[in-house]
Amino acid sequence: MLVEQQVLEYDMYLFHQGNLRHSYQLLGAHVDKQDGKNGVRFVLWAPNAVQVSVVGMFNDWNGNKHPMEKINDNGLWYVFIPDLESGTIYKYEILTRHGHLVLKADPYAFSSELRPNTASVVYPLDQYTWKDKEWMERRSKVNFYESPISIYELHLGSWKNIREEEYYTYRDYADMVIPYVKELGYTHIELLPLTEHPYDRSWGYQATGYYSVTSRYGSPDDFRYFVDQCHQNGIGIILDWVPGHFCKDAHGLRRFDGEALYEYENPSKAEKSMWGTLSFDFSRNEVQSFLISNAIYWLKEYHLDGLRVDAVASMLYLDYCKESGEWEPNEFGGRENLEAVSFIKKLNESIFEEIPDVLMMAEESTSWPLVSAPTYIGGLGFNYKWNMGWMNDMLRYMEMDPIHRKYHHKLITFSLFYAFSENFVLPISHDEVVHGKKSLLNKMPGDYWQKFANLRVFLGYMFTHPGKKLLFMGTEFAQFDEWKDLEDLDWELFDFDSHVQTSNYVKQLHQFYKDSPALWELDHKQDGFEWIDANNYEQSIISFIRNSRSSTDQLVIVCNFTPVVYHQYKVGVPKAGTYKEIFSSDAKHFGGSGQTNGMQLESISTPWHSQDQHIEITVPPLAISVLKRTSLPKEERLHEK
């Protein structure tokens, strides 16, 4: 007992220092046994409370029956209630300094009632038996920087549902989603936030239960089953995680014990009026323990393979989406939130010390430097940064009528000036296909055929451009309507040839991507990319080389962003020999016009595009062609004979 008491005191010390990385094991509700009696142990942090009780149906919601004891001067409260068990519904009744009684859900609850109910649910973490040992061992040996990564962004409830606001379970989705994503060829699924949230249409981005997987789709163990099945089928799982803000619902974190506790006291720092939410107080040690533990909780307890951290820019900048007079500069007169910067670095350092083989991806929309660089050289410490600049430029370009594209040619080439300054993910996420922005297909100009051709060339350029890939669900079969978050995807489009052909195109594009080391092995190094011709704005054609460590894997890529066909088009190539077109988005089985290069192409020993050799090809309309050297030049072959 003395040892246990010392461990408890040390954990409490670390919690108040901001260094308890597993604070969910100390705080919250835990099935336990004390003095020979089974029950539940409750620990809560509420330093400003006058009195705290645990209430629920088990005591008729009567705060007089199970008061908690304050066990230290920093506001930790404790009670053990015998005879309670897993499944118990509870809340904390808190008497504030102002004499008000408030009912709060447990910030550390592992499960919550189904909305609109808001109570917490006792749920043990040790009931599930994992079967993904092979995946976890293999993951620890993978160098993902030099591996293919293609992410399917998924919102479970609107992928497929029974009816509006009535969903399948995590286990049902495992049976439906995993075979589908596996057949498409994605390496990972990224789930929109699954932390418990009161309002469906926040999509999980405004949470109340940071440790509760949403009960909309079942229990915590049901979600574990989903992750486990993904791993057994070779698919990684990334969760969208939101440490930047939380919602103001009365049962949540806002003024938890009657005072600003999890949020800043200063309204200019606390309020995020753009979303109607509150920012966490990143300077507070206990909040750091809460958030860092939360990230580690999802990664360890649910075997997740990574977190995509939402809205990082809103954390980094004090003036994010605020007008003059709505924010206060930092101590040096700048607009950086120095506390948030320190927290983010500490977060990533803690995670990689605990779980070094996971992904930490930042949705960071500004030019903040070294987002994906290690903290020891001044970086924020993420593995990856979303390339929002590439996304904005490319979507702006693709929405133009091709006749105007030559005047905006730099939109498709500018990204290569900075492509290797960070480890980038190229994202086409849910944010780009909702709220009147139209679906990716419907952004494309032209007639029916041209829309699909534009989509194919866009995806082809995306998959051959340096950086890992992310596409939102529905893009893979060219959904016409933008994302409807209360309905499921338009699966009936599979009755139409163009959508089936697009789905087949995405499958084969993935297979080609994974089979081509030149498209990922040197993804984050300048050596992996070389322009052949970046300047043909008149015809809106670009050509470039992708390299791997092996010269035999080298690819020559030509993209035409107009509906014009060009015959005998000269393309500079780096080496003499015979070239073969190994992938074309204009193939008829993808719905293209069939202007492909079926013949072998012998290089011509005349310099072109600053290359020693060139070939002459047919450049198909609104399409990408990928060529590869398949043999030595004729004279070298004859000499060898």
Q: Which residues are catalytic?
A: 310, 363
Q: Coil, helix or strand for 136?
A: helix
Rounded to 5 degrees, φ, ψ at 90 are -155, 165
DSSP structural state of residue 312: H
Q: Coil, helix or strand for 608?
A: strand
Q: Coil, helix or strand for 154?
A: strand
Residue with tokens 């088990």: 58
Structure tokens at 66: 């199970």
CA 632/CA 641 separation, integer angstroms: 12
CA 174/CA 499 separation, integer angstroms: 24
The span from the first CA to the last CA of the chain, in angstroms, equals 84
538 half-sphere exposure, CB direction, 13 A CA radius: 1
Strands 468-472 vs 424-428: parallel, antiparallel or unpaired = parallel
CA 312/CA 581 separation, integer angstroms: 42
- Interaxial angle between packed helices 2-17 and 285-301, expressed in degrees from 0 to 180 and rounded to the nearest 10: 110
The letter for the amino acid at 418 is Y
CA 258/CA 240 separation, integer angstroms: 30
CA 209/CA 119 separation, integer angstroms: 10
CA 518/CA 521 separation, integer angstroms: 6
CA 197/CA 249 separation, integer angstroms: 10
Cβ neighbours of residue 133 under 8 Å, at least 6 residues apart? none
Structure tokens at 564: 């014009």
Helices and strands counted in the chain (H then E): 16, 29
Residue 29's nearest CA partner among 95, 125, 129 is: 125
Residue 287's nearest CA partner among 363, 339, 355, 337 is: 339
Structure tokens at 474: 């529905």
Residue 377's Cα: distance from chain center in Å? 25
Residue with tokens 């066990």: 71
484 close to 158: Cβ distance less than 8 angstroms: yes
CA 70/CA 79 separation, integer angstroms: 9
CA 251/CA 242 separation, integer angstroms: 18
